[in-house]
Amino acid sequence: MALASPAPQSRTSVRTSEYRAGLALAEAIIPGSKRIPAADEATYARSMEVMHDFHPAVVTAFNVGVRALDAAAVAFTGKPFHALDAHRQEELLLRWQTDPVLKTPLAAVSLIYKFVHFDRPEVYGTLGGKLNVVKNLEQPRWLSQVHRADAYPDDELECEVVVVGTGAGGAVVGRELAERGFAVAFLEEGEHYRRDAFDGRAIEAHKRFYRGAFTVGNSPMPIFMGRLFGGSTAINGGTSLRTPPWVLERWCDEIGTDAFSPDTMEPYFRRVESFLQIAPSPRDVIGPIADFVARGCDALGWSHHAIPRNAPGCDGKGFCDFGCRTDARLGTNLSYMPAALTKGALCLTGARVDQVLVEHGRAVGVEAVTPTGRKVRVRGKAVILSGGAVPTPLLLLRQGLANSSGQVGRNLSVHPSTGYAALAPEPMMGASHVPQGYGFDQFLRDGIQVLTAQPDYNVSGVIFPFAGQRLMEVVDRIDHLASFGILVSDAKASGRVWRDVGGLPAVTYNLDADDVRRMHHAMVLTSEMALAAGARHLYPFVVGHERLDGAKGLDAFRKEKLGPADFVWTSYHPLGTCRMGGDPKTSVVDLDHACHDVPGLFVVDGSTVRGPIGVNPQLTIMATATRAAGRIAERIG
């Protein structure tokens, strides 16, 4: 029977049994506390709506999960989940979080409910969150050079350089070429948003600003990327670290060149750093977590640092990953793109490039399609693909272009990451300080990077791989939690982007035993730092794991055998899928970023960066794009 209640039921048909089971699960996963409103019918209804908006098939899959969990309770208790009292339901949640079969549907169902519930304005507000309200946006002149492709009068354009994408690679190479006097046209699949759109809502942010991919492998992992003017740089944490020198030296060895030696790259790094005013945020803006890390590391004799960021004047009051509320963080949307447009470049947004135009074996332009299906063609003497390490190989693979080496889409590294939190003795108030402002780099050379990762209130519940009372415990204490992102350098760059399947990228990636060992070790090290800083309770993000209490808890954790599926992995740093090299048989582009196979076609983005690099990649991509602009200018000039 279809339910006749608010919005979602008018769009999705939900059977009563699914509704009962679904609601019971929502209420058990988020039972509420003095501080946290419990999940209720509105959480359930909004979850259905959000999933339906994403894809109706997601609702179907979700309901399969709900039915499976409801029925599984019969095997344990003789009754379906929805018929149990709260106490029995909580017991089952605890048990299922580590059950080899049931932990997956439980994690998926929990994730949806947590994502939706904590983003409900009344829940976010109750926890302490504040949406950003912007009035009176200024109108700089460069804005007149940005047009929605659908509304642009011409559908055939001529320029000198066509750049596909406006992120770390595209905006930088485009601006550097515009500065040299080239007529540059950017095509960007996403739309142009300004700080009035960066209001802090999590679901809206994901819907409007993000694109996603999900790896298939021994532990599936989402890969987050931007889809908007400014690319991922418009929604990133602002961490701006140089490529470590040992990585640059490795590239030189692998490629057989000195073109990327630390000395040769130095001026490119400096140029980007100076343009983006990269510097650490002041200590009071980073927040008390800086003292917490410093205290722990000093006690252990470890190196720690305030993170260089491209965010001069940041007040630390917003969650960077949903767009900067104050325009302080200089993503390419506020730096390189305005500079290029001021030099006369043009940018069409809402223009997804589907085809590289090739005539007599040479790239001569691109064809893009708009959301209404309009086709726009832009011709130029150079075509630069800068769509990012997942979209760029997809575009080439779809067309069977530039792939005589068979390397397009291969060699993907993702910089696997997960989270960690510790209960600090003093308040951290992470939601009102820089999310990613401090870290320790003592183990960078061993492939371990630990950065603060302070969530806003609407993300706080989502990040923890827990449900029920254990989830309430951590969210209740969120203002006292010191939260971290832990990233490990991939043991092997063995992932692969295959092709689009029904509009979603097919990507494979298997975590190596060394990745798992390294992450486990990194969590132990972070725990040692937290204990040394005075924390007593530790929360490694290991699915269904007990809280670690003091040194004794850590000792037991150290001895555990963990597998790839025990962690909640995410990736924000895909790299390497259009490998650079001197040999056309083993690489896609040469040292000038030119495709070996197709004259006039260049790739300048994360896909030409040989991963893993072990640090956040935007400065690496921007510095290599600065270098690429000089090489390309020489070729086409």
Is the Cβ–Cβ distance between 114 and 30 less than 8 Å? yes
Q: Which of 231, 455, 485, 581 binds ligand FAD (CB under 6 A)?
A: 231
> Residue-wise over 423-447: b if at least 16 C-beta within 10 A, else e?
bbeeebebbbbbbbbbbbbbbbeeb
Q: Which of 19, 224, 260, 569 binds ligand FAD (CB under 6 A)?
A: 224
Q: What part of residues 307-346 is at the interface with ligand FAD (CB under 6 A)?
A: 321
Q: For residue 334, what are its two tokens?
A: 């506020």
Residue 261: DSSP 8-state: S
Is 72 one of the binding residues for ligand FAD (CB under 6 A)? no
Shortest Cβ 615–ligand FAD spacing (Å): 7
Phi first, then psi, for residue 417 (nearest 5°) are -140, 160
Shortest Cβ 616–ligand FAD spacing (Å): 3
Q: For the chain, count helices (H), then strands (E).
A: 20, 23
Q: Which of 132, 145, 233, 483 binds ligand FAD (CB under 6 A)?
A: 233
Q: At what angle do helices 262-275 and 245-255 cross, to 10 degrees?
A: 130
Q: What part of residues 561-580 is at the interface with ligand FAD (CB under 6 A)?
A: 572-573
Is the Cβ–Cβ distance between 360 and 346 less than 8 Å? no
Number of residues that bind ligand FAD (CB under 6 A): 43
Closest to ligand FAD by CB, 29 or 395: 395
> Residue-wise over 104-122: b if at least 16 C-beta within 10 A, else e?
bbbbebbebbbbbbbbbee
Phi first, then psi, for residue 570 (nearest 5°) are -140, 160
- Can you tell me the distance from the alpha carbon of 418 to that of 466, in angstroms, rounded to the nearest whole number? 14
Residue 597: DSSP 8-state: S
Closest C-alpha among 165, 164, 161, 170 to residue 622: 170
Residue nearest to ligand FAD (CB): 167
Closest to ligand FAD by CB, 164 or 506: 164
Q: Which of 117, 329, 352, 410 binds ligand FAD (CB under 6 A)?
A: 352
Shortest Cβ 621–ligand FAD spacing (Å): 5
Q: What part of residues 593-632 is at the interface with ligand FAD (CB under 6 A)?
A: 605-606, 616-619, 621
Q: Which of 73, 157, 225, 493 binds ligand FAD (CB under 6 A)?
A: 225
Q: Which of 188, 490, 515, 528 binds ligand FAD (CB under 6 A)?
A: 188
Closest to ligand FAD by CB, 233 or 442: 233
- Can you tell me the distance from the alpha carbon of 492 to that of 413, in angstroms, rounded to the nearest whole number? 7
Shortest Cβ 27–ligand FAD spacing (Å): 31
Residue type, 273: E
Closest to ligand FAD by CB, 618 or 626: 618
Is 93 one of the binding residues for ligand FAD (CB under 6 A)? no
- Can you tell me the distance from the alpha carbon of 240 to that of 329, in angstroms, rounded to the nearest whole number? 11
Closest to ligand FAD by CB, 48 or 202: 202
Closest C-alpha among 97, 113, 93, 102 to residue 39: 113
Distance of CA 613 to the CA centre of its chain: 16
- Can you tell me the distance from the alpha carbon of 606 to that of 619, in angstroms, rounded to the nearest whole number? 11
Shortest Cβ 391–ligand FAD spacing (Å): 3
Pairing between strand 375-379 and 156-158?
Answer: parallel
Is 393 one of the binding residues for ligand FAD (CB under 6 A)? no
Q: Which residues, in sequence order, are bridge partners of residue 366?
A: 356, 378
Shortest Cβ 562–ligand FAD spacing (Å): 25
Q: What part of residues 434-493 is at the interface with ligand FAD (CB under 6 A)?
A: 436
- Reduced to 3 states (helix: H, G, I; strand: E, B; else coil), residue 132 is coil
| Span near ligand FAD by CB under 6 A; candidates 221-229, 246-254, 257-265, 277-285 | 221-229
Q: Which of 232, 413, 417, 527 binds ligand FAD (CB under 6 A)?
A: 232
Q: Please report, for residues 91, 447, 486, 488, 574, the alpha-carbon distance to residue 519 in angstroms, rounded to integers and kept in the order given.
A: 29, 10, 8, 6, 18
| Span near ligand FAD by CB under 6 A; candidates 184-192, 242-250, 334-342, 372-380 | 184-192
Is 383 one of the binding residues for ligand FAD (CB under 6 A)? no
Q: What part of residues 497-536 is at the interface with ligand FAD (CB under 6 A)?
A: none
Is the Cβ–Cβ distance between 393 and 213 less than 8 Å? no
Closest to ligand FAD by CB, 202 or 542: 202
Closest to ligand FAD by CB, 63 or 587: 587
Is 27 one of the binding residues for ligand FAD (CB under 6 A)? no
Is 165 one of the binding residues for ligand FAD (CB under 6 A)? yes
- Can you tell me the distance from the alpha carbon of 270 to that of 573, in angstroms, rounded to the nearest whole number? 22
Closest to ligand FAD by CB, 29 or 389: 389
Closest to ligand FAD by CB, 66 or 314: 314
- Can you tell me the distance from the alpha carbon of 601 to that of 408, in angstroms, rounded to the nearest whole number? 14
| Interaction site with ligand FAD (CB under 6 A) | 164-170, 187-190, 224-228, 231-233, 235-239, 321, 352-353, 386-389, 391, 395, 436, 572-573, 605-606, 616-619, 621
